[in-house]
Amino acid sequence: MRLQGKVAVITGAGSGMGRAMANLFAAEGAKIVAAEWNETTLAEVVAEVKAAGGEIAGVQGNVADQGDCERIIDDAVAQFGKVDVLCNNAGVMDLNAGAAEMDNAIWERCLGINLTGPMYLTRKAIPVMKAAGGGSIINTASVAGVGGGAAGCAYTVSKHGIIGLTKNTAFRYCQEGIRCNAIVAGAVETNIMQSVDPTKMDPTGIARSQTWYAAIPGQLKATDIANLALFFASDESKMVNGACVPADAGWTSA
């Protein structure tokens, strides 16, 4: 029970990596606050965790909204008294468009969910964690945060930004008991592409990215990412702070 007694807030908990984290963390003893915009998938993960004997509370909300982010953390404190772990996992894809083809709505959506939301949640959670003596923040980044070939401009910028948020948070609050690390995820079997309309993908951007996609050594499972998140959430990683760890089967090792 590596997370016994800990309270973990997980965004994007209704599917993919977030759902895997919720189930794994609960099995390891954590009390889960599952945050998700989709009420159907939120109900599903809450039912799954409870059926397995875990303790979980669901919170419906949009992480791009500051009020919803603050309510997620407030609900966690109201339900369980504290927050030990924050997994900023919710994310959406873009349309593989470059800057010249960029649609404002896609830019704002990607930056709002993938970057601004994690900042809102981090900002709200840090005082709560400090009051309890510390905590661990885990950001789901991407190979798009360390290179330019994996996606379009909006997604790439948002994931580069989450790397910056991770490093600054780690440096700024390391003396106050707060750790912040990022998982640089590669090709993972999730439903993130359902967040965009495939008929609106930029064909030139897709064709350009295919040259890099050809180097993917293999796809990971959502549970692979959850296992790494578990390490960051547990006290086993208490001296790991500001790390941006690739989980990409070696895709970016060249």
CATH code of the domain covering residue 44: 3.40.50.720
The Cβ of residue 243 has, within 10 Å, a number of other Cβ atoms equal to 16
Q: Which residue range(s) make up the domain with 34?
A: 7-247
CA-wise closest residue to 185 among 142, 244, 222: 142
Neighbouring residues of 189: CB distance < 8 A, sequence distance ≥ 6 = 219, 220, 221, 222
* Residue 155 falls in the annotated catalytic set: yes
Distance CA(92)–CA(243), nearest Å, equals 23
CB 215 within 8 A of CB 249: no
Distance CA(167)–CA(182), nearest Å, equals 9
Tell the residue number behind the tokens 């963390």, with chain if given: 25
Q: What is the pLDDT of residues 234-254, one digit of tens each?
A: 999 999 999 999 999 999 997
Does 171 map to a domain?
yes
Does 131 map to a domain?
yes
Indicate if the pLDDT at residue 139 is higher than 80.
yes
pLDDT of residue 193: 78
The model's pTM: 0.97
Neighbouring residues of 109: CB distance < 8 A, sequence distance ≥ 6 = 64, 92, 154
What total of structural domains would you count in the chain? Answer: 1
Distance CA(30)–CA(28), nearest Å, equals 6
| Phi, then psi, of 63 in degrees rounded to 5 | -70, -15
Does 195 map to a domain?
yes
Does 253 map to a domain?
no
Does 1 map to a domain?
no
Tell the residue number behind the tokens 């990022």, with chain if given: 182
Distance CA(140)–CA(229), nearest Å, equals 9
Does 2 map to a domain?
no
Banded pLDDT at 199 (limits 50, 70, 90): confident
CB 152 within 8 A of CB 205: yes
Does 94 map to a domain?
yes
DSSP 187: S
Indicate if the pLDDT at residue 24 is higher than 80.
yes
Does 254 map to a domain?
no
**Beta strands of the chain (E only): which ranges?**
7-11, 31-36, 55-60, 85-88, 135-142, 178-185, 244-247
Tell the residue number behind the tokens 């939301």, with chain if given: 117
Which one of 120, 155, 173, 213 is the catalytic residue?
155
Q: What is the pLDDT of residues 42-83, one digit of tens each?
A: 999 999 999 999 999 999 999 999 999 999 999 999 999 999
The H helix count followed by the E strand count for the chain is 8, 7
Q: Please, which residues bridge with residue 32 across strands? A: 8, 56
pLDDT of residue 196: 79
Q: What is the pLDDT of residues 80-118, one digit of tens each?
A: 999 999 999 999 999 999 999 999 999 999 999 999 999
pLDDT of residue 165: 98
pLDDT of residue 195: 78
Q: What is the pLDDT of residues 140-193, one digit of tens each?
A: 999 999 999 999 999 999 999 999 999 999 999 999 999 999 999 999 998 877
CB 220 within 8 A of CB 186: yes
CA-wise closest residue to 162 among 122, 191, 189, 125: 122
